[in-house]
Amino acid sequence: MSDEKLPLRSENYSEWYNTLVQRAELADYAPVRGCMVVRPYGWSLWENIQQALDRRFKATGHVNAAFPLFIPMSFLEKEKAHVEGFSPELAVVTIGGGETLEEPLVVRPTSETVIGYMYSKWIKSYRDLPVLINQWANVVRWEMRTRLFLRTLEFFWQEGHTAHATSEEAEAETRRMLDVYADFAINDGAVPVISGRKSEKEKFAGAVNSYTIEAMMGDKRALQSGTSHFLGQNFAKAFNIQYLDPTNTLQYCWTTSWGLSTRFIGAIIMTHGDDQGLVLPPKLAPIQIVIVPIYKNEDERVKVMTAVAAVTEELKDFRLKVDDRQEVTPGFKFNDWEMRGVPLRIEIGPKDVEKGSVAFARRDAPGRAGKSFVPRDRLAQRVAEMLQTIQTSLHEKALAFRKANTHEPGDYAELCQVVEDGFAFAWWCGRAECEAKVKEDTKATTRCIPFEQPGGEGKCIVCGAQSSEKVIFAKAY
């Protein structure tokens, strides 16, 4: 790590983000344009995200598998909306083993097509349903403007793909998995999200309905943080995914897909980070606690390190790091681990040893406000409580921020103004023309039609037509 200060978040959000991702050693640029290397600290964060989600997927009856990286070009063309959505973004393999391929292979941008093909082979009868499979995989989309975690050519994600006997069951699955994402985002990521439906314009290429969780970043822009799609029978018909029902009649399946990616790391950084650097939620932090021993001479060092060893042993169920580097000062260590977002720092000096106490320093409340002196007895319990307090308070703070920056404009002029600096929650008639006008005038898009609605009716903020739903307009990543 370098001693240089980070760019200030309040002054240059974008520079702050880019510098921080690299300086905290979360990720780095790969030699190929727009590709990233996820470094060990970032990957450890992703592993914790994976475990938190995978546990939830398994608890809801899903299993993991692995589908191929390469998809024949012709597969994408079988679903019209799908190919239109993805063809501008494809990476294509044309040479294999030194020879030009007869049919070019697409590096998967998403796997509905190839999984649909396999499901058509595997599913025969209603007894085979539902099929509830997820995969953890890398995918490639040839993006023009890229940023680490937020938009890269190759990224990492999970994609769930399920097949069902009825429309109702598939729709319920779609909503269930969105709820799983929201539960994860809120309770593990401390990222408050708004669950809702995407507009026709913003939905997934090939879906009947797309659902999303949308979060507000520290610069008040929106980040789509996870999506779940009800695909109807679109892919079932394109790939012939059929089953014999109990009356021996051939029926098309109803399918869903849902995904959450390394983009969520961007959501964590931008929701909680501050001028000092990262602030990681305790449930996902690669290192939950850093212990910094403080001493001036060898006598003190021996005494302090004995206490550090005892504390380390007592806290062995936490993800803990002891920073016993001798070549740098405690102050340097404080800055270093603050920049890396470790939720709780424990300082142990000679006086603490004498008093049988330690000093806690909360990352989410830097300076004196986050400092407390804590007795050594029942330390594991005290630490667990403190981490839970930090976890909760991160979410509360982010939620308050979003609420403070979500506006309900009274007219179109006000809409145009408020989306410059926050979310707008407004009545919308649902027509694509109105949505397009807002985008043209302000660059804000419809983020979602939240499930939670005030009820009643109102006038479309754009055209004044009677409307039954409100929508979130915002500028987005």
List contacts with its own copies (CB under 8 A): 28, 30-32, 35-40, 42-44, 46-47, 63-72, 75, 87-98, 104-105, 107, 114, 117-118, 121-122, 127, 133, 137-138, 140, 142, 144, 153-154, 156, 327
Residue type at position 286: P
> What Å distances lie between residue 370 and 10, 50, 144, CA to CA?
22, 30, 42
Q: CB of residue 258 vs its own copies: minimum separation in angstroms?
A: 17
C-beta closer to its own copies: residue 36 or 213: 36
Q: At what angle do helices 263-272 and 40-59 cross, to 10 degrees?
A: 110
- Minimum Å gap between C-beta 346 and its own copies is 23
If the CB atoms of residues 47 and 299 are measured against its own copies, the closer one turns out to be: 47
* 17, two tokens: 């983000």
Shortest distance, position 91 Cβ to its own copies, whole Å: 5
Q: Using the structure block, give the residue that is written with the tokens 């994976």.
A: 50
SS3 for 14? helix
Task: Give 153 or 223: the residue with its C-beta nearer to its own copies.
Answer: 153
Q: How far apart are CA 122 and CA 131, in angstroms?
A: 10
Q: Which residue's structure tokens are 């506006």? A: 407
Nearer to its own copies, 143 or 219 (CB): 143
Nearer to its own copies, 67 or 252 (CB): 67
Q: Which is nearer to its own copies, 156 or 473 (CB)?
A: 156
3-state class of 23 per DSSP? helix
- Minimum CB separation of residue 107 from its own copies in Å reads 7
CB 31 to its own copies: min, Å: 6
Cα 180 to chain centroid distance, Å, stands at 12
Minimum CB distance to its own copies, residue 342 (Å): 16
Q: Minimum Å distance from CB 449 to its own copies?
A: 31
Least spacing, CB of residue 43 vs its own copies, in Å: 5
Which conformational region is residue 180 in: left (phi greater than 0), alpha (psi within -120 to 50 degrees), or beta? alpha
CA–CA dist 361, 333 (Å, integer) = 13
Closest contact distance (angstroms) between CB of 79 and its own copies is: 15
> Nearer Cβ to its own copies, position 131 or 418?
131
Phi, psi of 29 (to 5 degrees): -75, 135
Q: What is the b/e burial string over 334-357, where b = at least 16 CB atoms within 10 angstroms of the residue's CB?
A: bbbbbbbbbbbbbbbbbebbeeeb
Nearer to its own copies, 143 or 169 (CB): 143
Whether 191 contacts 185, CB under 8 Å: yes
CA 378 to chain centre: 35
- Give the chain's radius of gyration (CA, Å): 25
Nearer to its own copies, 160 or 350 (CB): 160
